[in-house]
Amino acid sequence: MAKPSAISGFPEWLPAQRAVENVVLDTCREVFELHGFGSLETRAVETMADLLRKGEIDKEVYAVKRLHEPAGAITDPGSELALHFDLTVPFARYVVQHAGKLDFPYRRYQMQKVWRGERPQEGRYREFAQVDIDVVGLDTLPFHYDVEVPLVMAEVFERLNALGLPKISIRVNNRKVSEGFYRGVGFTEPTKVLGLVDKLDKIGAEKVGYLLRTQCEATDEMIAQALSLATISGADLSVIDEVLALGVEHPLLTEGLAELSAVLQAADGVLTADFSISRGLDYYTGTVFESTMRGFEHLGSVCSGGRYDSLASDGKTTYPGVGISMGLSRVLGPLFARGYTMNRSVPTCVLVALANDEERPAAEKVASSLRKRGISALVSPTAAKFGKQIKFADKRGIPFVWFITDDGHQVKDIRSGDQTSADRKKWTPPAEDLHPSIILQEN
Amino acid sequence: MAKPSAISGFPEWLPAQRAVENVVLDTCREVFELHGFGSLETRAVETMADLLRKGEIDKEVYAVKRLHEPAGAITDPGSELALHFDLTVPFARYVVQHAGKLDFPYRRYQMQKVWRGERPQEGRYREFAQVDIDVVGLDTLPFHYDVEVPLVMAEVFERLNALGLPKISIRVNNRKVSEGFYRGVGFTEPTKVLGLVDKLDKIGAEKVGYLLRTQCEATDEMIAQALSLATISGADLSVIDEVLALGVEHPLLTEGLAELSAVLQAADGVLTADFSISRGLDYYTGTVFESTMRGFEHLGSVCSGGRYDSLASDGKTTYPGVGISMGLSRVLGPLFARGYTMNRSVPTCVLVALANDEERPAAEKVASSLRKRGISALVSPTAAKFGKQIKFADKRGIPFVWFITDDGHQVKDIRSGDQTSADRKKWTPPAEDLHPSIILQEN
């Protein structure tokens, strides 16, 4: 085998990085299951026809084909296969396909790889992991799920922050607010307005104003109103008053502000209203979410979602839903590049040292006793000199080395050098040493 | 969306089945990590060149290509991509690629989907999950890992059996025993002999004898010896004596019997020696494993592996290894068809009932208190009649319903009908109800 090399856009983590990823996945899963979300995995492939329904992304799809597909085996282009590019389209398909066997409202989480043929860049990969939660109803879905879904994800982010990862904040808007407001101001194409206002950060107010004037027939007053809305943000209900103070009126705006105010009230400061969010106007029908990671704002949103009233439907029944999706690799790749890792590269907490090869069965007995009490333990690969065995542990970050001596058993904390006698059936490490923890290693 | 349908060979589990799969994955992971195996995930794709090195499976590979790959973008056929068909080839590639950043012996587990374009049948899929553990060394790998690896997997099987799944037994052989024995008997092509003896179960002793005579120039005595070896099996060291009693001598046989006897001795009855195992003669160089599931023997081996001394190499350095791989979907698919499932379809343990919609914040407070203590809880989707809310819980198998009444809080076990007063900060369910458990539901 010649030395193989990486494939651009298909990242692979080193063992300690993968362990960080598992901590994140475990945290997600624990929070989701406490909130009654069940696990789901869908197949990696969908039919090309199902994927290309969302036309704009056709360039990014990876087609999948048996290398020796018999000629003419595929007669129906609808049966051609491709890798899924997100978890929402497969989920919508799964719900419609298995509706008869699901209980609604159906709450699921899904943590899987997805594939897109995009040009790779920081935080953008061709193969990457996503973590989604969604609640879908049968024909109707109460509004309170719009409140619940972002709060569940916020609980995940709070726990991850406590584990040492940067803070991620979720911002919220409501499509009805934006659409109603722009209609109330006098715009006839609110989607177009939002697309232009979205460029505010990049090109500035003056240029956005110029574009609104030339492309949306905006007057000076309309431009001023549009720009005013985009600058309102905050975590408490005063943002609602700020919007009302602009004096614009429209039934959709009133409805949207009521929904948004319900979300903010229940969120109690955890979510921030931000009227510049323009995400997915074609797709979402009410509440929308975006999130940025502190210190990594240049990555853009790392966790987004919203309410969709008509994504999944079989023509007769509609399954309205609300969901939120975290770009896991998008978050982790930049964190790993910055030096986030584990304080050990292996799960092992104790290395049982070997004085000689005959001692292996006795050493295995020690390891087995520790494992029975949930302590990850490993017997030394060879009966090398003790100094070498300690180096073996040190290199991997294993904190404890166990010695079987003539005077009884001893365990050494190789970081402090402290060595004490120990009973294999009773000794336990300090709680913080039982499992590896996340650290930021200066590069 | 027209009603979508399943894609043959790409199974998807229902929520309760996926929960069973998660129990199996969690059990594997817990045991592996206690034994110091770290998690690894490799990218889903390899270059076609890397995959096709194992020539015989080229027909089964799924090629992957961007739908709108610019014409002429792929100039080097070595850069064409395909989905991996197992986890061993990607692992070998990963080890060689990242060797400088890995610590040897490197112990890893890997639980991922793999893809093969095979004809689907019971337990055989085109997309399926595998669970692998391997230990690889740098240039050398001590023999004791041949003993450790199957025992770690046997510990997983023991735990799964305790959780209600059928017993899986691991059988062991050693390539050196078979090859040495057949050479000692006088055969010059031991691989061919094993291929024929492998048919014993299917075509019977007489036909195997005929084939050995016509294809391997075997005498009656050679045939008798070959068939005798294949029928020896057992979990204790007496099998070694049985082989020796056949009176065949060869240095490779002696070496293989010594290795096998070390494995059996350490396994202490957990592994069964079986000299009819002919797995992977081209590939494995010593110890080999196969496993069958009780009641599902017709599926063949569901967990296999062995020692490979030269799979991973960059020309200068060789990374000898020993590993074992369980076909997870291969095990679960037939179990699900037989009726194995969960006693509830959701993780939820407690449904907090709603007397009216105004009560939702109070109900969320109860749910939040329970979650803080690790109890999965859900507030009722709507303030329907209590009977309807209890039915909601019953349909999903949620065992407890919580009521907020004027006289205080009450919790009802809806299976027994028992209702008692409860404190949201103290009440805990019986341990066996905290999480769902695996059951066999008669079809």
Tokens matching residue A22: 């598992």
pLDDT bracket for residue A144 (50, 70, 90): very high
Which candidate in B66, B350, B441 is best for mutational testing of the A interface (most A CBs within 10 A)? Answer: B66
pLDDT of A78 reads 60
Q: Give one DSSP letter per residue of B64-79, joined into a string.
A: EEETTPPTT----GGG
DSSP state of A303: E
What proportion of chain B, given as a percentage, has pLDDT over 90? 82
Residue A300 reports pLDDT greater than 60: yes
State mean pLDDT over B391-396: 97
CA–CA separation, B44 vs A12, rounded Å? 10
State mean pLDDT over B340-364: 96
Q: How far off is chain B from A59, nearest CA to CA, in Å?
A: 5
Tokens matching residue B97: 């690629």
Note the maximum CA span of chain B. Answer: 91
pLDDT of B51 reads 84
Higher pLDDT, B80 or B437: B437
CA–CA separation, B53 vs B197, rounded Å? 28
pLDDT bracket for residue B277 (50, 70, 90): confident
Residue B195 reports pLDDT greater than 60: yes
Element spanning B304, H or E: strand B303-313
Cα B72 to the chain's mean position, in Å? Answer: 41
Which candidate in B35, B46, B118 is best for mutational testing of the A interface (most A CBs within 10 A)? Answer: B35
Residue B120 reports pLDDT greater than 90: no
Q: Give one DSSP letter per residue of B177-230, joined into a string.
A: HHHHHHHHHT-S-HHHHHHHHTTHHHHHHHHHHHHHHHHH---HHHHHHHHHHH
Element spanning A50, H or E: helix A48-51
Helix axis angle for B200-216 and B220-230, nearest 10°, is 150
Chain B hits for A36, CB-CB cut-off 8 Å, are 346-348, 376-378
Mean pLDDT of chain A, nearest integer? 92
Task: Examine residue B90 and say whether the peptide bond preceding it is cis (omega within 30 degrees of 0).
Answer: no
pLDDT of A58 reads 58
pLDDT of A5 reads 84
Tokens matching residue B285: 């160089």
Residue B73 reports pLDDT greater than 60: no
Give tens-digit pLDDT for A261-271: 999 998 999 99
**Does B117 sit within 8 Å of A66, measured CB to CB?**
yes
From the list A230, A232, A205, the residue with the least C-alpha distance to A220 is A205
Give tens-digit pLDDT for B3-44: 788 999 999 999 999 999 999 999 999 999 999 999 999 999
CA–CA separation, B14 vs A443, rounded Å? 45
Q: How far off is chain A from B11, nearest CA to CA, in Å?
A: 7
Give tens-digit pLDDT for A408-428: 999 999 999 999 999 999 999
Long-range contacts of A20-23 (CB under 8 A, 24+ apart): A20/A332, A20/A335, A20/A336, A20/A340, A20/A341, A20/A342, A20/A438, A21/A129, A21/A328, A21/A332, A21/B41, A22/B39, A23/A163, A23/A438
Mean pLDDT of chain B, nearest integer? 92
CA–CA separation, A367 vs B156, rounded Å? 17
From the list A235, A222, B345, the residue with the least C-alpha distance to A211 is A222
Please name the residue of chain B whose CA is at the shortest distance from the CA of residue A83.
B64
As for the ipTM of the complex, it is: 0.95
pLDDT of A310 reads 82
pLDDT of A106 reads 98
**Does B68 sit within 8 Å of A377, measured CB to CB?**
no
Of B39, B59, B67, the CB nearest to A63: B67
Chain A hits for B71, CB-CB cut-off 8 Å, are none
With contact defined as beta carbons under 8 Å apart, do A372 and A428 qualify?
no
Which candidate in A28, A30, A41, A43 is best for mutational testing of the B interface (most B CBs within 10 A)? Answer: A43
Q: How far from A338 is each of A343, A439, B87, B94, CA to CA, in Å?
A: 15, 11, 29, 23
Q: Give one DSSP letter per residue of A110-156, joined into a string.
A: EEEEEE--PPPBTTB-SEEEEEEEEEE-SS---THHHHHHHHHHHHH
Tokens matching residue A441: 């290693």
Residue B72 reports pLDDT greater than 90: no
For A65, list phi and psi in degrees, rounded to 5: -150, 135
Residues 6+ apart with CB under 8 A from A59: A117, B66, B67, B68
pLDDT of A77 reads 55
pLDDT of A127 reads 97
pLDDT of B443 reads 63
Residue with tokens 């939002």: A194
Tokens matching residue A28: 């997600």
Give tens-digit pLDDT for A7-49: 999 999 999 999 999 999 999 999 999 999 999 999 999 998 8
From the list B42, B278, B266, B2, the residue with the least C-alpha distance to B154 is B266
Please name the residue of chain A whose CA is at the shortest distance from the CA of residue B397.
A103
With contact defined as beta carbons under 8 Å apart, do A411 and A419 qualify?
yes
Chain B hits for A41, CB-CB cut-off 8 Å, are 12-13, 18, 21
| Lowest-confidence region among A109-123, A357-371, B362-376 | A109-123
Residues 6+ apart with CB under 8 A from B55: none
CA–CA separation, B256 vs B239, rounded Å? 13
